[in-house]
Amino acid sequence: MIAQPQVLEVEQLVTVFDTPDGPVRAVDGFDISVGPRETVALVGESGSGKSVTCLSIMGLLPQSGRIHGGAIRFMGENLVQASESRRRELRGSSIAMIFQEPMTSLNPVFRVGMQISETIRAHLGGSAENASKRAVELLDLVGIPEAGRRARNYPHELSGGMRQRVMIAIALACEPKLLIADEPTTALDVTVQAQILELLKDLQSDLGMAVLFVTHDLGVVAGIADRVHVMYAGQGVESGKVLDVYRRPLMPYTEGLLLSIPQLVATGSERRLPTIDGQSPSAGLRAEGCAFLERCRYARDLCREGSVDLEMREDRSVRCRRVDDLVLSGTTS
């Protein structure tokens, strides 16, 4: 069998911010790939570098940020070397992103149908009439009832869940090959979250996109992703097929994330969810040894020295010195 080329291949990405205290590595040698029709989850707690990874892929880093090293290949083309105009072209046509906060990315003064049809016309051309027809179709596709009427609403007239659906419609307007969804459900309540996740899953299988799905919650990953990458302090610490990682995590940090997912089956007794104590080290302030050291209940002296490499184990990767002598608990639900 000939291996299919990846839609996205990020290799040894290093993204740096210039700060008053000097340059800070928010992403520090990170690898991730997404194949055709595949959904890959990127998981990690706040500040681990997930959004900076997405913005690096999109070419949308703020002024103070820059890609310092590594490669970002989209269908084989290295975007790190691409011109700004080429980046812009790809953003409109082939790579789309849904952002964490839907309200900030919609323009409050234009009707939502218009915002979708303008995206269509800017990237695909065509008449205004066809674009507004397509906008209504897209609103319908993302599950907005009475799409024709809703297209005439302004963003503030819609609920948070509906606004996020509009954002998804805008992202899909140009039929992207790669969709990056950065915590698309974080700002929404739990029932709406579930609906949006279901919607993304359906769209992914109908439209055959590759999806990079970002979340801090390993609980949502099981239903939607094929593979998962766990990020900690700007680096990859574990990756593999979702089921394998769930059944048997190899890195203590992943075990901690799994233990903090509420179990679906009631255990009969009141149980407080364990959390991972402490905070991840700030970008740039990483000491010798494993970055998770201070928070790891399995840490030993051997974890204190040098830098810990990411090791490949068949189709998994793990960054832990104790990988061969630990048996960590997974989850069965």
The residues binding ligand ATP (CB under 6 A) are: 17, 19, 24, 26, 44, 46-52, 62, 64-65, 216, 282-283
Q: What does 271-289 look like in DSSP terms, one character per residue?
A: -PPP---S-PPPTT---SS
Which ranges of the chain would DSSP assign to H, the alpha helix? 50-58, 84-93, 102-105, 112-124, 128-141, 147-150, 160-172, 190-207, 218-224, 242-247, 252-259
Residue 283: CB minimum distance to ligand ATP, A: 4
Q: Which is nearer to Mg ion, 51 or 195 (CB)?
A: 51
Structure tokens at 90: 């790809």
C-alpha to C-alpha distance for 320 and 267, rounded to whole angstroms = 31
Residue 51 contacts Mg ion per CB under 5 A: yes
Which ranges of 225-316 would DSSP assign to H, the alpha helix? 242-247, 252-259
Q: Which is nearer to ligand ATP, 26 or 200 (CB)?
A: 26
Residue 186 contacts Mg ion per CB under 5 A: no
Cβ-based neighbour number of residue 123 at 10 Å: 16
Residue 48 interface partner, choices ligand ATP, Mg ion, none, CB cut-off 5-8 Å depending on type? ligand ATP
Residue 153 interface partner, choices Mg ion, ligand ATP, none, CB cut-off 5-8 Å depending on type? none
Residue 49: CB minimum distance to Mg ion, A: 9
Residue 203 interface partner, choices ligand ATP, Mg ion, none, CB cut-off 5-8 Å depending on type? none
Q: Which is nearer to ligand ATP, 113 or 234 (CB)?
A: 234
Q: Which is nearer to Mg ion, 151 or 225 (CB)?
A: 225
Structure tokens at 241: 């097929």
Site of interaction with Mg ion (CB under 5 A): 51
